Each structure stands twice: as structure tokens, then as C-alpha cells.
């Protein structure tokens, strides 16, 4: 897990939400006493879980990571896995990226890259 406090905050917020939702189970994360997630296509997700029967890959990106090359590289790997049935890829971003909404920045990056993301969480 990243030593960046903003990255940690993003993961903690979503993980806390998932832990309180009965439809999410078999949570793996780089935080707390959770078992670490396994790599997916050679990249390490921040959280993995099952939502009912669907495997969900979660990856958090700070503003700098979202705007940089790392987002493209990791998102392509995770989106490829999510192209299979019963797998989805969720991106976690900050609510604000400079003067822009994190959700809009993420949507623009996804569109530029031509990849599919099933859900964007902004926290």
C-alpha cells in the first residue's frame, strides 16, 4: 500500500463503507487485519471483494496519479480483467482535483484512454 496519506484516506473511506454492506464479502485490502489482495494482470489492487457473485477490483488514485501515466497503465490492466463476465473494475478518486471535480477528471481520463470502468467512487 502506498505511503501517501491521501491515497490511504481514499482506500480507508471506501473500505469502511464496504465493511458495513452485507452484499460485499470476502474483502481483501492492504489495511487493517484484512488479507492482502492478489495481483490482477500483474498490478496490485487496493481492495478486492465479491459483491454477491461478482468479483470487484478497487484501485484508488490521488489527483497526481489520476492525471499521470500510472492511471493509464493500471486501469488498462484492471479493465482488461473486468471485460470478463462476473468481474468489475471500480476507481476511487478524491472529490476534488485542484479546481475540478474528481469524478469529472476520472471520466475524462477513462474516455481519453478508451477503457471501461464500471464505477467511479469519489471521496
Maximum C-alpha span of the chain: 38
pTM score, whole prediction:
0.94
Tell whether 116 is covered by a domain: no
In a domain, 105, yes or no: no
Closest CA relative to residue 30, chosen from 60, 70, 69: 60
Instruction: Report the C-alpha gap between 23 and 123 in whole angstroms.
Output: 20
Q: What is the pLDDT of residue 93?
A: 97
**Is residue 50 in a domain?**
yes
Q: Count of domains in the chain? A: 1
Residue 122, domain member (yes or no): no
Which pLDDT belongs to residue 98? 86
Which DSSP category does 9 fall into?
H
Q: Does residue 71 lie within any of the structural domains?
A: yes
pLDDT in tens, the chain (123 residues): 568 999 999 999 999 999 999 999 999 998 888 999 999 999 999 999 999 899 999 999 999 999 999 999 999 999 999 988 899 999 999 999 988 899 999 999 999 999 999 999 999
Quickly count: other Cβ atoms within 10 Å of residue 49's Cβ: 25
The pLDDT, as a whole number, for residue 10 is 97
Element holding 120 (H helix, E strand): strand 119-122
Q: Is residue 67 part of a domain?
A: yes
Burial environment of residue 50 by CB neighbours within 10 A (0 to 12, 13 to 18, 19 or more): middle
- Sign of torsion over alpha carbons 39, 45, 46, 52: negative
Task: Return the pLDDT at 3.
Answer: 80
Answer yes or no: is 119 within a domain: no
Neighbours of 1 (CB within 10 A): 13
Stated length of the chain:
123
Residue 115 lies in a domain: no
Task: Please report, for the domain that includes residue 81, its CATH number.
Answer: 3.40.1350.10
Containing structural domain, residue 9: 5-98
Amino acid at each position: 500500500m502506498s505511503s501517501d496519506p491521501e491515497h490511504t484516506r481514499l482506500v480507508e473511506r471506501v473500505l469502511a463503507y464496504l465493511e458495513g454492506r452485507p452484499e460485499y464479502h470476502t474483502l481483501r485490502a492492504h489495511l487493517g487485519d484484512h488479507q492482502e489482495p492478489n495481483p490482477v494482470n500483474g498490478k496490485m489492487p487496493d481492495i478486492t471483494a465479491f459483491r454477491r457473485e461478482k468479483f470487484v477490483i478497487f484501485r484508488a488514485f490521488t489527483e497526481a496519479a489520476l492525471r499521470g501515466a500510472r492511471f493509464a497503465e493500471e486501469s488498462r490492466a484492471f479493465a482488461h480483467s473486468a471485460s470478463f463476465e462476473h468481474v468489475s473494475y471500480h476507481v476511487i478518486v478524491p472529490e476534488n482535483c485542484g479546481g475540478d471535480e474528481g469524478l469529472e477528471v476520472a471520466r475524462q481520463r477513462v474516455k481519453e484512454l478508451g477503457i471501461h470502468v464500471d464505477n467511479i467512487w469519489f471521496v
